[in-house]
A and B are shown apart, each in its own frame.
Chain A
Amino acid sequence: MTAGASAEAAAREALRGWVRERSAAAVPDDFDDHTPLIASGLVTSLQITDLLLVVEEMRSAPLDPASLRPGVFRDIDTIYATFLADRLGS
């Protein structure tokens, strides 16, 4: 595994761990990177500030406020592609 792939795997696992720990709803057994976060109620709008800080820390850089639209938090795959792939990707 390359360093980039390893970083990606670690980031995705950290995001899954954050959702499991902080979820506002019961996390399904088949929860994965494509499970809807907002539509399923796993993540609420009030938790986004906390989630953004986690993502920013992974990026080691602030996010562009213009990029903060509801659609970018659809699932972990989208969060990774939107905010992290350019910094960590393989």
Chain B
Amino acid sequence: MSPESLAETVLRLSTVSRSSPRDPNETTHWPEPDSLDRAQWFTSPELISVYGTPLWDSLDDHARRQLSFWEAVGFYSLNIHGEKLLIEGIARRLYQPGLEDVAEYLHHFLDEENQHSIWFATFCLRYGGKIYPDRKVAFPREHAPGEEDLLFFARVAVFEELVDRYNSAMGRDDRLAPVARRINANHHDEETRHLVFGRRLVEHLWRWHAPGWSDETVAGVRAHLAGYVMATWREYYNPDVYRDAGFPDPYATARQAWDHPATAAHRAALTARSLRWLYEAGILEAPVLS
């Protein structure tokens, strides 16, 4: 893809962003906490982390719906932490040399991600009374020229591609409580633009920088992205969720859910669909999960 087509993408996405509603209160009705019926579904059953495991089979309908609420708090918390890193990283790259052509869209990106965090945090705090803590720790290290930018935008794209599979499905799921369905649908609507932008920019950065990298750096980038996919999935199996859902041993639940073949197959299928473009662009060589 030529730099012109990246610029054209930026122009088109910026135009759409300018016409999109910004205020989360305009697009989402927030019931009073006391009037929110907790017996509704807040996460699609098939996307609940323990779905397909013996634990899921052992739960009655009430317990499954209770779990679906705390899974929503967990999923939105994961989004909040992901978007905090994203906002921080994008703000640092505004008008950075080499990224001037995408600066206008980065402003829209920042604006929209900030609004997304408001939706997610409003739900978590209003109805769950908490945002689950982040378990990620970053270790500073040296990078080859362009490597840190490529890794940052590739991590953002991977995170958003995986999350969007959930948002897309749950935004159309009539079983869900309206507030949960609306949050997912709103996020999906705007993430669609971010996904297009992310793919174009990552492919552009790869073609720009990778030819100048050593084989060791290229291998390191691929290993890092594969590790990031695994680490992202790991956070979907959150002991804090299981604790609040009343499970007696939340850590064993997290371990058993993660290890179960049904959840491994779910992760592999969804990852393959979400990240096919990384293989097609030559950024990843082999399937991350199988």
Contact = CB atoms under 8 A, between A and B. Distances in A.
Contacts of B223: 24
Contacts of B224: 44, 46
A65 B231 contact: no
23 contacts: A38-B139, A44-B139, A45-B137, A45-B138, A46-B231, A47-B227, A48-B136, A49-B135, A49-B234, A49-B235, A50-B231, A50-B234, A53-B135, A53-B239, A53-B251, A53-B254, A56-B251, A57-B239, A65-B133, A65-B135, A70-B137, A70-B138, A70-B139
Contacts of A56: 239, 251
Contacts of B231: 46-47, 49-50
B230 interface: yes
8 residue pairs, one from A and one from B, having the closest CB atoms: A57-B251, A46-B227, A65-B133, A46-B231, A45-B139, A49-B135, A48-B137, A70-B139
B228 interface: yes
B137 A68 contact: yes
Contacts, number: 55
Contacts of A48: 135-137
Interface in B203-236: 223-224, 227-228, 230-231, 234-235
A62 B244 CA distance: 13
Interface in A42-78: 44-50, 52-53, 56-57, 60, 62, 65, 68-70, 73
Nearest to B133: A65
A69 B137 contact: yes
Nearest to A57: B251
B130 to A, nearest CB: 12
A4 B239 CA distance: 26
A46 B239 contact: no
A85 B135 CA distance: 20
Interface of B: 133-140, 223-224, 227-228, 230-231, 234-235, 239-240, 251-252, 254-255
Contacts of A65: 133-135
B138 A68 contact: no
Contacts of A68: 135, 137
Interface of A: 24, 38, 44-50, 52-53, 56-57, 60, 62, 65, 68-70, 73
A57 B140 CA distance: 27
A61 B231 CA distance: 21
B127 to A, nearest CB: 21
Contact of B240 (A46, A47, A62, A69): A62
B100 to A, nearest CB: 30
Nearest to B225: A46
A44 B227 contact: yes
A73 B239 CA distance: 21
A67 to B, nearest CB: 10
Contacts of B255: 53, 57
A31 B182 CA distance: 52
